[in-house]
Structure 1
Amino acid sequence: MTTGEDGGPGGFALDPRLAGDTLPVGDLPLCSVLLMNDSRFPWLILVPRREGAREIVDLSLAEAHALAGEIRVASRVLQAVAAPDKINVGALGNVVPQLHVHVIARFLSDPAWPGPVWGHGTRAPYPPHAASALLERLRAAFAADEEPPP
């Protein structure tokens, strides 16, 4: 996992709302990985670094397959770091049209269970020390992740 690629001038740019609501984790080959800055839910967002992409069908077939693989990696990372009861995956885009995929660790005890996290209560940003510690754990888990054998 690398950190902080933005595609340069005239290339990929992260939607300002995503940038304002998240903390950067790093980059996978296709996607920038972000942590939603809401301590109520361990929540990653994958954003394919492709200018103008709004829907998965805007990606090439190879990119769509790569996105599926990166969703699997993010899911395994959340399982390793948070040990959730369930992983929710969704690509809505109703508020932010830029293609992005939510990968959310859910718990039977979380405040929104069993409903969706969107629009539930008020976001609770991570305190700086907790954000730093979680980002370190996530980055280490991404670095250590290997596809298990079939």
Structure 2
Amino acid sequence: MKSDPKECLYCQSNETLHNLMIEVAELSVSRVFIFKEQTYRGRCLVAYKDHVDDINLLGDDDRNAFMSDVVRVTRAMQKVFNPDKINYGAYADTLEHLHFHLVPKYVGGPDFGGVFRMNPQQTYLTEAEYASMAEALRKEL
């Protein structure tokens, strides 16, 4: 199944996307977002800049650049949020656009030692807190 970029959350950058996350930065071949739902403090997402369904469809240079962007974001997350572990999730069963969920986990925190929940809808921040988080990430990127 191949998805249509005209129906893609990331390609359309529509209201649904902006209700779920905040765009933080553009990197070499990707866009970085902070999830508004912050059960996992510092949760981010890195989406490939173009509509590609799977990482195996990228050439070596683009794949390496994308993974370099992912690592760049996790290094910034490590500095800003100091998690004990960062979980990586790359699904795309229902939204076929190459993206990685980057989920900080903390000892004693939600789901440590287990699988993170996609959208637990438990923790939301103020606009000022999101802005502060985004600025701190931008500074480290």
Report the counterpart of residue 45 of structure 1 in structure 2. 45
Q: TM-score scaled to structure 1, two decimals? A: 0.78
Residues 56-88 of structure 1, C-alpha deviation per residue, up to 9 Å, x if partnerless?
A: 012221110111111111110011001110011
Greater relative contact order (Cα 8 A, min sep 6): structure 1 or 2? 2
Q: Distance in 1 between matches of 2:99 and 2:118?
A: 17
Q: What code does the residue aligned with 1:102 have?
A: H
Shift of 1:39: 2.1
Q: Which structure has more helix as a fraction of its residues? A: 2
Percent of aligned positions that are identical: 19
Q: Distance in 2 between matches of 1:120 and 1:108?
A: 20
Report the counterpart of residue 101 of structure 2 in structure 1. 102
> In structure 2, do the counterparts of structure 1 residues 139 and 133 end up closer, same or farther at CA, with 3 Å as the change threshold?
same
> Pairwise CA RMSD of aligned residues?
1.9
User: Which residues of structure 2 form unaligned runs of 5+?
Assistant: 1-9
Q: Distance in 1 between matches of 2:34 and 2:89?
A: 15
> In structure 2, do the counterparts of structure 1 residues 117 and 18 end up closer, same or farther at CA, with 3 Å as the change threshold?
farther
Q: Distance in 1 between matches of 2:128 and 2:81?
A: 17
Q: Distance in 2 between matches of 1:68 and 1:74?
A: 10
Residues 84-105 of structure 1, C-alpha deviation per residue, up to 9 Å, x if partnerless?
A: 1001112111232211111121
What's the secondary structure of 1:33's corresponding residue?
Answer: strand
Mapping 1:67-146, distance limit 5 Å? 67-119=66-118, 121-142=120-141
Structure 1 moving runs of 4+ over 6 Å: none
